[in-house]
Amino acid sequence: MLKCLNKSIGDYTQNGGGEATGILARKALMKDRKTRKEPANMNKTEAIPSTDFIREIIDGDLKVNKNEGRVATRFPPEPNGYLHIGHAKSVCLNFGIAEQYGGTCNLRFDDTDPSGESMEYVESIKSDVRWLGFNWNDRLFYASDYFEQLYQYAVQLIKDGKAYVCSLSPEEIREYRGTLTKPGKDSPYRARSVEENLDLFKRMRAGEFEEGAHVLRAKIDMSSPNINMRDPTIYRIKKIPHYRTGDEWLIYPMYDFTHCLSDSIEEITHSICTLEFENNRPLYDWVLDQLKVDCHPQQIEFARLNLSYTVLSKRKLVELVEKGHVTGWDDPRMPTLAGLRRRGFTPEAIQKFCERIGVAKRDSIVDIELLEHCIREDLNQRAPRVMAVLRPLRLVIDNYPEDKVEELDAPYHPQDPDMGSRKVPFSRVLYIERDDFREDPPKKFFRLAPGREVRLRYAYYVTCTGVVKDEQTGEVVEVHCAYDPKTRGGSSPDGRKVKGTIHWVSAAHSLPAEVRLYDRLFQVANPSGEKDRDFMRYLNPSSLETLTSGRVEPSLEGAVPGSRYQFERLGYFCVDPVDSSDRGLVFNRTTTLRDSWAKIESKEKSRD
């Protein structure tokens, strides 16, 4: 029991929880906003970005003046969902490289599959990339803008005898493809004449055939050990309106055909993608070689980010949203950038996280505690400290005058006097945290208990003189205390020590607030770890706890949506940008103060 108490409420002595704090919250917020606008600066003042195998390749290319010394990357999301923290890794990598080498990075929507794509997703992706701190300037592109050009490239392949219309059914195509151990066999349509292929492809475009009746395939090698090279489909019929091109197109190019050509059209030099595309690289090169394009970018693969206790696949994230397991893409439990932002994460913390995990060639799972560590580190510096009581218990100071109110000075940040301070009203009736009182205290419980003296943060020493209980349940509903007027400010002239310091708010002056405590969305480290088990079964049923009777100090009146605070001893909290309003404050817990990652790290260091 005690162990769990310690977990939920930190001690003042830990985690910078609070020697004192400083400016008007507004000032702190402005500072917050200022740094938010210029996240790149944060990186620039730090050490030169550490290198990795991709940067080493680029360095090598620059040495021999490959691409005339140009570095051009792109971030190519498909607008079929919101960006998640895995995408952030790719955004930081692509935009970061462009920034570092004085190159360019395009934002390109890879929108060639009309099912599931939408303008809502395009807009969300744009705003998330901007929020993360990156700017594509005028380099915004859509693969769908290349549809005509891609069609002409496909016609070129047909004319060169490098592509053919295949009329096998989807099942037959699969069957003919063979397996890893069995070579494929040629489609009976492989020998169609160029004229017939051109005619059929034109009629596919005109909408003469049903979906699945024909596809256009590259003519490569059905016995290739690489299955991707066994005459892959490069166009299929899809009679679904496209969110940008409407019903103009009834055939759509496949990823492997579109991606390399889009890269080439945009004169990308280094096309960075995730490891699962390694076996697609020969196809990427094949298409560009056959078409003899002027620009042939180099595809480089890196390991995608996997994060413990979460899923990072849009298909799975869509499922969580659509089945109502979360309130939306921006639910603060989601690993999406929209969710993390609403939870109180800063772009700087996410950039820092991406920098720390680095870029590797081998897949691994990153501990979510590293992400939590990064946000704590950032908020520890920038979040003003305030007092809030999440589960209130009335505390009455019997020897304090009934109508007296004192305004106590409380700094916003223990290490940053520039943040200033605010006045916190103190009066006869306060609220303290229910967990900070025990009628029958266990060993090492240094907070309030009958006969025990504690320090009220920034205020006085109080000694518990009695309790009032609910007659029916026996539950303590009120604690009575006597205060020592000579201890104002938190120390006593006679030098006597008290072991515990607890936070509080004045009952009459504090504001009501709803507080949402978030926990991990999944109960196991690797919810997608077992192929034949649905990841949904590992959902954490208590990933959200909503406390509706919280009380916060009056300085939080009108707190700006999205602004972030440390609630002393409790954790970092952010004003919910969606549900908080003048009618009622709503706070999201970004993270607790407990930092097990720091512990793990220091353990590892001491072992070295």
| Residues forming the active site | 78, 304, 314
CA–CA gap between residue 365 and residue 371 (Å, rounded): 12
Place of tokens 């935009």: 95
Cβ proximity to ligand ATP, 243 vs 458, nearer residue: 243
**Min. distance of Cβ 251 from ligand ATP in angstroms?**
21
Distance in angstroms between the alpha carbons of the first and the last residue of the chain: 35
Torsion of CA 451, 495, 407, 20, to 10 degrees: -110
CA–CA gap between residue 306 and residue 317 (Å, rounded): 14
* Cβ partners under 8 Å of residue 577, min gap 6: 342, 561, 562
**Min. distance of Cβ 110 from Mg ion in angstroms?**
7
Alpha helix positions (H), 489-608: 596-607
Cβ proximity to Mg ion, 78 vs 478, nearer residue: 78
With CB atoms as reference, the residue minimizing the distance to ligand ATP is 86
- Which of Mg ion, ligand ATP, none binds 540 (CB below 5-8 Å, type-dependent)? none
Cβ proximity to ligand ATP, 78 vs 221, nearer residue: 78
- Which of ligand ATP, Mg ion, none binds 89 (CB below 5-8 Å, type-dependent)? ligand ATP
- Which of Mg ion, ligand ATP, none binds 274 (CB below 5-8 Å, type-dependent)? ligand ATP
- Which of Mg ion, ligand ATP, none binds 312 (CB below 5-8 Å, type-dependent)? ligand ATP
Cβ proximity to Mg ion, 78 vs 406, nearer residue: 78
- In DSSP terms, 125 is beta-bridged to none
Contact region for Mg ion (CB under 5 A) — 70-78, 324-332, 378-386, 420-428?
A: 70-78
Strand extents, DSSP E, 357-415 = 365-366, 385-386, 388-389, 392-397, 406-411
- Which of Mg ion, ligand ATP, none binds 330 (CB below 5-8 Å, type-dependent)? none
Residue pair 163/189 in contact (Cβ under 8 Å)? The answer is: no
CA–CA gap between residue 59 and residue 63 (Å, rounded): 6
Q: How far from the centroid of its chain's Cα atoms is residue 226's Cα?
A: 35
CA–CA gap between residue 260 and residue 279 (Å, rounded): 14
Q: How many CB atoms lie within 10 A of CB 102?
A: 9
Q: Binding pattern to Mg ion, positions 76-95, x when CB under 5 A?
A: --x-----------------
* Count of residues interacting with Mg ion (CB under 5 A): 1
Contact region for Mg ion (CB under 5 A) — 72-80, 421-429, 548-556, 566-574?
A: 72-80
Cβ proximity to ligand ATP, 72 vs 419, nearer residue: 72
Instruction: Select from 521, 502, 509 the least CA-distant residue to 567.
Output: 502
Residue pair 419/384 in contact (Cβ under 8 Å)? The answer is: yes
- In DSSP terms, 366 is beta-bridged to 307
CA–CA gap between residue 448 and residue 320 (Å, rounded): 43
**Min. distance of Cβ 22 from ligand ATP in angstroms?**
39
**Min. distance of Cβ 177 from ligand ATP in angstroms?**
22
- Which of Mg ion, ligand ATP, none binds 305 (CB below 5-8 Å, type-dependent)? ligand ATP
- Which of Mg ion, ligand ATP, none binds 86 (CB below 5-8 Å, type-dependent)? ligand ATP
CA–CA gap between residue 71 and residue 100 (Å, rounded): 10
Place of tokens 């000075």: 409
Cβ proximity to ligand ATP, 167 vs 528, nearer residue: 528
Buried b (16+ CB within 10 A) or exposed e, 539-573: beeebbeeeeebbbbbbbeebeebbbbbbbbbbbb
- Which of Mg ion, ligand ATP, none binds 96 (CB below 5-8 Å, type-dependent)? none
**Min. distance of Cβ 406 from ligand ATP in angstroms?**
53
**Min. distance of Cβ 274 from ligand ATP in angstroms?**
4
Binding site for ligand ATP (CB under 6 A): 76-78, 86-87, 89-90, 110, 273-274, 304-305, 312-315
**Min. distance of Cβ 287 from ligand ATP in angstroms?**
18
Q: How many CB atoms lie within 10 A of CB 429?
A: 14
**Min. distance of Cβ 204 from Mg ion in angstroms?**
24
Cβ proximity to ligand ATP, 147 vs 255, nearer residue: 255
**Min. distance of Cβ 105 from Mg ion in angstroms?**
18
CA–CA gap between residue 208 and residue 319 (Å, rounded): 35
**Min. distance of Cβ 77 from Mg ion in angstroms?**
8
Cβ proximity to ligand ATP, 39 vs 76, nearer residue: 76
CA–CA gap between residue 14 and residue 566 (Å, rounded): 13
Cβ proximity to ligand ATP, 26 vs 304, nearer residue: 304
* Cβ partners under 8 Å of residue 174, min gap 6: none
Amino acid identity of residue 331, one-letter, is D
CA–CA gap between residue 500 and residue 396 (Å, rounded): 18
Q: How many CB atoms lie within 10 A of CB 146?
A: 20
- Which of Mg ion, ligand ATP, none binds 314 (CB below 5-8 Å, type-dependent)? ligand ATP
HSE-CB at 359 with a 13 A cutoff on CA atoms is 25
Tokens of 127: 């705003």
- Which of ligand ATP, Mg ion, none binds 527 (CB below 5-8 Å, type-dependent)? none
Cβ proximity to Mg ion, 116 vs 358, nearer residue: 116
Interaction site with Mg ion (CB under 5 A): 78
